[in-house]
Amino acid sequence: MENEVVVRIKKSLDSFSSEAMLEELNQIIDKGATQLVCDFSQTDYISSIGVGILISAYKRLKKAGGNVVLYALKPKVRSIFETAGLLQIFTVRDA
């Protein structure tokens, strides 16, 4: 059974908030989570730095047989992942 943890992403995941988010995700993974569900229901913007953090978490979890799930992406945020070709990597769940 997977150890699933839901992480609520802030309104904006950018250079100002990314360091704290990276720390939080690393702590969760270090505690044994194998699946991160990133709740984007309140998120209006994600920068390339924010995307990089999620890719980093994905790579760590993939080595452990885990996954990152993007949940409740708003259209603007979804288009960022789509443009970068990342919707094929991440599992996406709609609200």
- For residue 60, the domain's CATH number is 3.30.750.24
Number of structural domains the chain divides into:
1
What CA–CA distances, in Å, run from 79 to 1, 27, 31, 83, 87?
32, 28, 32, 6, 9
State yes or no: pLDDT of 2 exceeds 80. no
State yes or no: pLDDT of 50 exceeds 60. yes
In whole numbers, what is the pLDDT of the chain averaged over residues?
94
CA gap 5, 82 in Å, rounded: 24
* % pLDDT > 90, the chain: 95
Q: What is the pLDDT of residue 9?
A: 96
Q: Per-residue pLDDT tens for 83-93?
A: 999 999 999 99
- What is the residue range of 52's domain? 4-93
Query: What is the pLDDT averaged over residues 5-19?
Result: 94
Query: What is the pLDDT averaged over residues 58-65?
Result: 94
State yes or no: pLDDT of 1 exceeds 80. no
